[in-house]
Structure 1
């Protein structure tokens, strides 16, 4: 069995509203982590992100998914709920939200995940980035076609233009999910974060701060400090949120 430590933060940055949300739930076998970045204006985004987190966690807790395909279905059901909650003429009339969801089976040592939009999940092994999700965005498409490099995503003027997020018509929604559960090793670290964080912190910064951090809370705090320093020239910089899971071998019974 794996022992898990979780830490999270959500900061409104230089904005009037914090439209990010994150949360987690666990049973005696599963940990489910969800992070979302809402959009909609005048408070609609914060409603959308909270709704996405609450719905996914509630539905997962009722019937924990064992496969990525089941997790994808939960994201699509959550999309339907978000659309049904819209109210014309109010802040809720055009709600959207990115979402990323990570599930760890700490008895079987496996993980699976699904996402829509440009909120990311990073997977670290031995302190290095092993894998990450691929954004549903215009600039990620340009990277995939060889027009841009990964590093150019962070400074591209259209980096915030999404191809998909919750709130789209079901037939238009893109959800990416791992087809097979991935084996998790003791010492692996996972990070879920919104674009307000990863826009300022490249892989090298993530890895160097992780190597220096004594625990998850300290790492999250260092990431927040780094974002504030990097965004100091922008008085209205975006909300930023992060949730990290550190794994280790559980003590023998």
Structure 2
């Protein structure tokens, strides 16, 4: 199975970039992680870096000890370990006591052709196939709860004044919610995965993400098209943004299969 990746991370209109991202590979196994930190006194960037470093370190440790299966349940456990690491760091530095991080984690086993994921907060994972959204994680947020209760239309979520209120984030000792995929998800040639922070998806709805695939030859091109759209539509002082793209199969398959219907 051919797998192509690209990533972008930018401070946006802010003085500090509190996002982080990383990748882990071992043999046929691949994992991508994106995190978005929050907290005063530099705590946000510390929390997101701890989250990414812990994910990669935990995968390496488990793989060396007994091998790792990239299931949703196992990826959830990896994010729980990242949560513990952030809580430990909070306890050792009073200035970092309020730091938190969201995170999204994608795992792909190229031998079995299966994918799994886990996430916490409002950093999202998407999978686009044949011009449609076949996977979209649901945010742990006030706005998502309003959508679920039919109190808010999805179209109004990105501009809601309380869109940044989260119900769960890593760095929480109690009442932590982490969601993970259930059954193994079979990937197909032409699938395009996207992991991105809220500073990225806030200015790009899903139709724009899909349309951008039709203008790209590589995952890096795809991100470039979307970042151009983001910059054209973003407000002054807009948030940091980070995105990682993962394409399955060669570029021609992804471009042809992902073109939206006319």
TM-score range, shorter chain: over 0.9
Question: Are 2:81 and 1:80 aligned?
Answer: no
| Residue segments in structure 1 that go unaligned for 5+ positions in a row | none
Tell me the residue number matched to 1:237: 238
Tell me the residue number matched to 1:189: 192
Question: Are 2:115 and 1:111 aligned?
Answer: yes
Distance in 2 (alpha carbons) for counterparts of 1:217 and 1:66 = 25
Tell me the residue number matched to 1:151: 155
CA RMSD between the two structures? 1.4
5 Å-filtered alignment, 1:85-100, equals 85-86=89-90, 87-90=92-95, 92-100=96-104
Deviation, 1:88, is 4.0
User: TM-score, length-normalised on structure 2?
Assistant: 0.90
How many residues are paired up?
A: 245
Q: SS at the partner of 2:2?
A: strand
Q: SS at the partner of 1:245?
A: strand
Match of 1:217 among 209, 212, 220: 220
Runs (4 or more) in structure 1 with deviation over 4 Å come to none
Deviations 1:52-101 (CA, angstroms, capped at 9, x unpaired): 011001111222333211111111111011100114442x2211000000
Tell me the residue number matched to 2:207: 204
Distance in 2 (alpha carbons) for counterparts of 1:42 and 1:219 = 34
Tell me the residue number matched to 2:136: 132
Deviations 1:22-72 (CA, angstroms, capped at 9, x unpaired): 111111111100000000123110011011011001111222333211111
5 Å-filtered alignment, 1:44-63, equals 44-63=43-62
| Residue segments in structure 2 that go unaligned for 5+ positions in a row | 63-67, 251-262
Distance in 1 (alpha carbons) for counterparts of 2:245 and 2:70 = 21
Distance in 2 (alpha carbons) for counterparts of 1:217 and 1:38 = 24
Q: SS at the partner of 1:36?
A: strand
User: TM-score, length-normalised on structure 1?
Assistant: 0.94
Q: Which structure features the higher share of helix residues?
A: 2
Distance in 2 (alpha carbons) for counterparts of 1:141 and 1:18 = 28
Distance in 2 (alpha carbons) for counterparts of 1:224 and 1:216 = 12
